[in-house]
Structure 1
Amino acid sequence: MNQYRITHGLSRLTMNATISKEATQHSVEMARHQLPFGHHKFDERVKRLSKSIQYTNGCAENVAYNYKNAQDVVKNWLLSPGHRQNIRGHYNLTGIGVARDERGRIYYTQLFVRTKQA
């Protein structure tokens, strides 16, 4: 994803452990069917991130499931205008979470965060 951003004149995203933990929790909840697939409770994730990461000034989220690998996920996100907008957004931090359900389907969550320093 960073290669795509750099190719398009955008800054590199820095992986953040706090954001990855939040993304992983969302993927786990979807894989366990505690939440439906999608962006349910996104506002709650944003609130938690805002408390953990100083100067949070914007967040976005991409989710996917049942792709065999991360490359296919990113390829399909780039074909979707909304997902592509998040990838190309003015964010500087990111976190990724992955979880597998009982049937072996993989749930992916990527959160994007912009801090005021960005």
Structure 2
Amino acid sequence: MTSATSSTIDGLATPESPAPAVRLAPPEKPKPAPQPGPQIAMLRPEFQQQLDMLNAERSRRGLAPFAYNEQLGQAAQAHSVDQANRRLMTHTGSDGSNPGDRIRRTGYRFRNWAENVAFGYGSAEAVVVAWMNSPGHAANILSSNTQVGFGLAYSVDGLPYWTQKFGTPRS
């Protein structure tokens, strides 16, 4: 199951549908991210695969590649953990926050943001394919946003909760 939301500056996210407390993904050895622009992050394999797939989709359409942003990644990971803990796929945090609130908490100053969430997909490839086959999710992936961050956490029953955060920093 997937869900998408996006906004400019202070737009409000809407909650989505329910699903399955939390087992974090096992840590894996990070590998360096390719450098479509200034990159400093060392990404988990699942996140590197998402970044590669998203940037391939963007390239096919003549769009600039996303740069990975650690602050967006922090916001995405925290939201994946929150969803997995509650066993609920939603754009609304357990504290009532929307995606923009959670991004702002990391110190990221944005002009635009968007969020894709999903649960139950067993691989990065499967979740990206599902998002690209959904008009709202694909619109977020193919938007004018320039940066991305990812999150992945597992509920106690083993279901993966995926989050993508997109942003364009303020100048």
SS in 1 for 2:158: coil
Per the normalisation by structure 2, the TM-score is 0.62
SS in 1 for 2:153: strand
Q: Does 1:37 align with 2:92?
A: no
2:155 corresponds to which residue?
Answer: 101
User: Which 4+ stretches in 1 moved above 6 angstroms?
Assistant: none
* Higher share in helix: 1
Gaps of 5+ in 2: 1-53
1:46 corresponds to which residue?
Answer: 100
Per the normalisation by structure 1, the TM-score is 0.88
Deviation at 1:115, TM superposition (A): 2.2
- Pair member with larger Rg: 2
Q: Does 1:8 align with 2:56?
A: no
> Which of 73, 79, 82 is 1:20 aligned to?
73
CA distance in 1, matches of 2:70, 2:149: 7
CA distance in 2, matches of 1:43, 1:59: 14
CA distance in 2, matches of 1:48, 1:39: 10
C-alpha distance 64-53 of structure 1, shift in aligned 2 (>3 A): same
CA distance in 2, matches of 1:65, 1:90: 25
Deviation at 1:44, TM superposition (A): 4.0
Gaps of 5+ in 1: none
Q: Which has the higher contact order (CA 8 A, sep 6+)?
A: 1
CA distance in 2, matches of 1:26, 1:66: 15
2:15 corresponds to which residue?
Answer: none
CA distance in 1, matches of 2:98, 2:73: 15
CA RMSD after TM alignment: 1.8
CA distance in 2, matches of 1:100, 1:83: 21
SS in 1 for 2:63: coil
Deviation at 1:48, TM superposition (A): 4.5
2:115 corresponds to which residue?
Answer: 61
Cα displacement string for residues 36-57 of structure 1 (whole angstroms, at most 9, x for unaligned residues): 3121148544135346124x11
Across the two proteins, how many residue pairs are aligned to each other? Answer: 115
CA distance in 1, matches of 2:125, 2:157: 21
